Amino acid sequence: MLSNKLLKPGLYSVGSSDGAGPTARLMGGRCRCGYVFFPMQTYGCERCGSHGDALTPCELSAHGTLLAEATVHLHADKNRPAPFTIVKVALDDGPVIRTLLADGSAPVAPGQRVAGTLAAVGQTESGETVLDLRFSVAS
Amino acid sequence: MTRSLNELRPVYVVGIGWHRYQNPSETPYVELGLTAIRAALADARIEWPAVESTYVATALLGMASGRPMLRHLGATGAPLMHVENASASGSTAFRHACIEVASGISDVALAIGVDKRNPVRRPDTGLGNLAEDAIVPFTHFALLTNEYAVRHNASTDDIALVAVKNHRNGAKNPNAQRQQERTLDEVLGGKRVSGSLTSLQCTPIGEGAAAVIVASEDGIRRLGIDAGRAIRTTASVGRSERVYPPGAGFDAALTQETADLALAQAKLAPKDLDIIELHDAFTVEELHYIESIGLCPEGHGVRMLKDGALDIGGQCAINPSGGLIAMGHPIGPTGIGQIGEIVMQLRGEAGPRQHGGARIGLAHMVGVGAVCYVHILQR
């Protein structure tokens, strides 16, 4: 794992490893009022307005249920060459997130169980593998 | 104690005008805006010095674009302000022009929306995100299309029928960016954009201008405006997104609460509406919003669409202008253009796209953020 580097280390961390690669833990937050959100922030709670110490980090499972998917055929940003697929996932821990489906994942449909893993998306100049969160069908 | 718009003194739309919505061109925004304002002044049969206050709706032109345009009408020294509220910029400008007149601060106010297509710059909140750079608006609505189709067992071909209707309406609108009827095969066979959305199911990128002049009864009398062509604004509501239950679509939930408040303000029920101009930037939105406004239960929108109930001449004409899909969505002008279309319809001046006997119209816009604005106009 020493040769791996997370693309967005403020948003997720490496959990235990399974056959498909390292699973992810999402770095969310919980308010004193009970509201769970992603990503972690201390600006203030969207539900009740509490801020600062009322908001504490809370690791979220990357397991959830697919709400929707869309394969993007046209995308102006050349850093994201189409096609790619976006998934909307209701995490088991509460928040709804949207991100990319893993390249080579089996097709997904609403209602299906999905899980986030950390997938290799490139290399740094010093040869480290860059990992980013991708969802695929839960094993 | 607070009061809603229709508890203040009555406010009427007395002048409407456009510069046609069109593909991006070399035409300066100043010319687009002046064309719409002069058309609205001519429609009201008043002169520019009668306008006591101006609200300039624009999202993409840059800072302080209003005065370099308005000075060419003769610099009267009247106040002006700029309104940026994403897609709802024009609706928001209209609301505040109405509030200014209804409150008694002015007798005559102008809302002018003008925009040209420029790169959209979103604010940096300092918070990270997983892949927002990969999720542009058409993908947000492609996801909603997938959700709607699965939840209500609707076919994506049926959802695309919204575009067939709105292109048909736009073909009769000389101010529309797209003025061509399209068959379902043409709509489905177009360039694939995201999910099941094809390019003719998405609003085009464009430019243009729309202007609306509002006046009090004192202003109408003093200026000799034809009261028979004045259309009253009977409700104005603006809202922003709250926290909804997990999995609930915020676009539909926000529209529902905003439309409910507007209908209550005007003391009307959804069945009373003859015309709705709504934010159909993408086909699925029209179904979501007619259901949220209360025309039919959730999931029944496709049936109304296929029955022709949403056509001009049907139970309630939805987007007789062609909507954002056909008339276009130049951002700043869009919400003001909706008001102009409803006024034209309620006056009975909409020509080949006239919805017979129209007396009550509702205008709806959402903007990223999200915000939602609803106005009701009555003859």
**Which tokens is B280 given?**
């159909």
Structural contact between residues B363 and B91, judged by C-beta atoms closer than 8 angstroms = yes
Residue A18 scores a pLDDT above 60: no
The ipTM is 0.93
Whether residue B130 lies within 8 A of chain A, CB to CB, comes out as yes
Residues of chain A with a CB closer than 8 angstroms to some CB in chain B: 8, 10-11, 35, 39, 41, 43, 46-47, 67-77, 79-80, 84, 86, 88, 90, 94-100, 109-111, 133
Of A8, A86, A95, the CB nearest to B134: A86
| pLDDT score, position B247 | 74
Percentages helix, strand, coil for chain A (3-state, rounded to 5) are 0, 55, 45
Of A10, A35, A75, the CB nearest to B128: A10
Determine the Cα–Cα distance for residues A106 and B43; give it in Å rounded to an integer: 59
Asked whether the beta carbons of residue A47 and residue B128 sit closer than 8 angstroms, the reply is no
Between chain A and chain B, how many beta carbons pairs sit less than 8 Å apart? 89
Determine the Cα–Cα distance for residues A62 and B226; give it in Å rounded to an integer: 64
Structural contact between residues A116 and A100, judged by C-beta atoms closer than 8 angstroms = no
Range of the domain at A78: 4-137
Q: Length of chain B, please?
A: 379
Of B138, B151, B247, the CB nearest to A96: B247
Q: Using a CB-CB distance cutoff of 8 angstroms, which residues of chain B are in contact with residue A73?
A: 191-194
Determine the Cα–Cα distance for residues B312 and B326; give it in Å rounded to an integer: 15
Residue B160 scores a pLDDT above 70: yes
Q: What is the mean pLDDT of residues B269-288?
A: 98
Q: Regarding the domain delimited by B135-197+234-378, which CATH topology (the fold level of the hierarchy) does it fall under?
A: Peroxisomal Thiolase; Chain A, domain 1 (3.40.47)
Of A11, A71, A77, the CB nearest to B130: A11
Determine the Cα–Cα distance for residues B95 and B57; give it in Å rounded to an integer: 11
Structural contact between residues B343 and B359, judged by C-beta atoms closer than 8 angstroms = no
Please write the tens of the pLDDT for every residue from B223-271. 999 999 999 999 999 999 999 987 788 999 999 999 999 999 999 999 9
Residue A2 scores a pLDDT above 60: no
| pLDDT score, position B345 | 98
Asked whether the beta carbons of residue A46 and residue B243 sit closer than 8 angstroms, the reply is yes
Average pLDDT of chain A is 92
Q: What is the mean pLDDT of residues A89-117?
A: 95
Asked whether the beta carbons of residue B130 and residue A77 sit closer than 8 angstroms, the reply is no
Whether residue B124 lies within 8 A of chain A, CB to CB, comes out as no
Distance from CA of B307 to the nearest CA of A (A): 28
**Which tokens is B291 given?**
């259901």
Spell out the residues 6+ positions from residue B267 whose beta carbon is closer than 8 angstroms to its own: none
Task: At B165, give phi and psi (nearest 5°).
Answer: -60, -45
Average pLDDT of chain B is 97
Please name the residue that has the structure tokens 């926000």: B254
Strand ranges in A1-128 using DSSP code E only, listed in sequence order:
4-6, 12-18, 21-31, 36-37, 55-61, 63-72, 84-91, 96-100, 113-123
Whether residue B1 lies within 8 A of chain A, CB to CB, comes out as no
Q: What is the DSSP string of B78-108?
A: --EEEE-BTBTHHHHHHHHHHHHHHTTS-SE
| pLDDT score, position A87 | 98
| pLDDT score, position B161 | 98
Asked whether the beta carbons of residue B192 and residue A73 sit closer than 8 angstroms, the reply is yes
Q: Using a CB-CB distance cutoff of 8 angstroms, which residues of chain B are in contact with residue A111?
A: 150
Q: What is the mean pLDDT of residues B178-183?
A: 98
Determine the Cα–Cα distance for residues B4 and A138; give it in Å rounded to an integer: 51
Residue of A51, A73, A87, A118 for testing the chain B interface, max B β-carbons within 10 Å: A73
Residue A69 scores a pLDDT above 80: yes
Distance from CA of A68 to the nearest CA of B (A): 5
Asked whether the beta carbons of residue A70 and residue B139 sit closer than 8 angstroms, the reply is yes
Residue A112 scores a pLDDT above 90: yes
Determine the Cα–Cα distance for residues B249 and A139; give it in Å rounded to an integer: 28
Question: What number of CA atoms fall less than 13 Å from residue B21's CA on the CB side?
Answer: 34
**Which tokens is B21 given?**
């919505």
Determine the Cα–Cα distance for residues B216 and B12; give it in Å rounded to an integer: 6
**Surface-to-core class of residue B267, CB atoms within 10 Å of its CB (0-12 exposed, 13-18 middle, 19+ buried):** exposed
Asked whether the beta carbons of residue A110 and residue B146 sit closer than 8 angstroms, the reply is yes
Spell out the residues 6+ positions from residue B340 whose beta carbon is closer than 8 angstroms to its own: B16, B17, B18, B210, B211, B212
Element housing B31 (H / E): helix B29-44
**Which tokens is B371 given?**
């915000």
| pLDDT score, position B248 | 82
Determine the Cα–Cα distance for residues B40 and B46; give it in Å rounded to an integer: 9
Query: How is domain B5-119+205-231 classified at the architecture level of CATH?
Result: 3-Layer(aba) Sandwich (3.40)
More confident residue, B276 or A4: B276
Asked whether the beta carbons of residue A8 and residue B128 sit closer than 8 angstroms, the reply is yes
**Which tokens is B301 given?**
């929108």
Please write the tens of the pLDDT for every residue from B69-90. 999 999 999 999 999 999 999 9
Residue A23 scores a pLDDT above 90: no
Instruction: Count Cβ atoms below 10 Å from residue B165 Cβ, excluding itself.
Output: 27
Q: Using a CB-CB distance cutoff of 8 angstroms, which residues of chain A are in contact with residue B136?
A: 75-76
Number of domains in chain A: 1
For residue B117, is it left (φ>0), alpha (ψ between -120 and 50) or beta? beta
Please write the tens of the pLDDT for every residue from B345-367. 999 999 999 999 999 999 999 99
Asked whether the beta carbons of residue B127 and residue A39 sit closer than 8 angstroms, the reply is yes
Of A41, A96, A111, the CB nearest to B246: A96
Whether residue B150 lies within 8 A of chain A, CB to CB, comes out as yes
Determine the Cα–Cα distance for residues B156 and B299; give it in Å rounded to an integer: 13
| pLDDT score, position A17 | 64
Determine the Cα–Cα distance for residues B131 and A100; give it in Å rounded to an integer: 7
Question: What number of CA atoms fall less than 13 Å from residue B309's CA on the CB side?
Answer: 15
Please write the tens of the pLDDT for every residue from B122-150. 889 999 999 999 999 999 999 999 999 99
Determine the Cα–Cα distance for residues A39 and A58; give it in Å rounded to an integer: 10
Q: Using a CB-CB distance cutoff of 8 angstroms, which residues of chain B are in contact with residue A74?
A: 138, 191-194
